[in-house]
Amino acid sequence: MTGALVLLLAGCATRPVADGELAGSYNIGRQLLAPEQKGGAGAIEPYVLGATETFRMPEPLQAPSPTLPPGYERQTLPPTTLCVRVIVMADGSVERAESLLEHTRCRAGAEAEHASLLQAALDATARWRFHPAAICRFAPGTGALAPGNCAGAAEVEPVPVTLLYGFTFEVAQGRVRVRRSSDLN
């Protein structure tokens, strides 16, 4: 798969990807955010794939949506987007989940009134489990049957990734909704 990786791979990535090399999207019922900045100190370095390599995205095995925290008393809450950076290890476990405040659509997480909602999103994502992401290497002259398909690969190397998610919390007429955010890019 050459596409979505520039936007999706990060954290523990060890090799850079050329601009425009990767495209596409991935989600597990939540909005996956595109990073807004490149380069600089602490920048995430995406993977570079060779001509005989493809990337398999992590697949969720357990990824429940966050819920309102116990005792949450607001009867109304306009749609409020809170964002989380999820660092997924090569074994598919979540190393950690962090608040993502620097994305322009995620600034509500910095407001004290939303601290408990942000914590609910962090708690939920910290418990997620994935079938690991991997770089699949094929013998010269062969390749993946489909993007992200490792069938027939000479080598499958599980790799860590960082995924960015946005969750929109809403309470209307006492009814709670946590949904995939729209148009966060």
Cβ contacts of 41 within 8 Å, gap of 6 or more: none
Give the model's pLDDT for residue 72.
86
Name beta bridge partners: 88: 94, 161
Name the 3-class secondary structure at 165. Answer: strand
Kindly report, residue by residue over 79-112, the tens digit of the pLDDT. Answer: 999 999 999 999 999 999 999 988 888 899 999 9
DSSP letter, residue 92: S
* CA–CA separation, 148 and 134 (whole Å): 9
Question: Does the pLDDT of residue 40 top 50, yes or no?
Answer: no
Average pLDDT of the chain is 76
Q: What is the pLDDT of residue 43?
A: 55
pLDDT tens for each residue of 122-147: 999 999 999 999 999 999 888 778 88
Longest dimension (CA), the chain: 61
* pLDDT on residue 50: 86
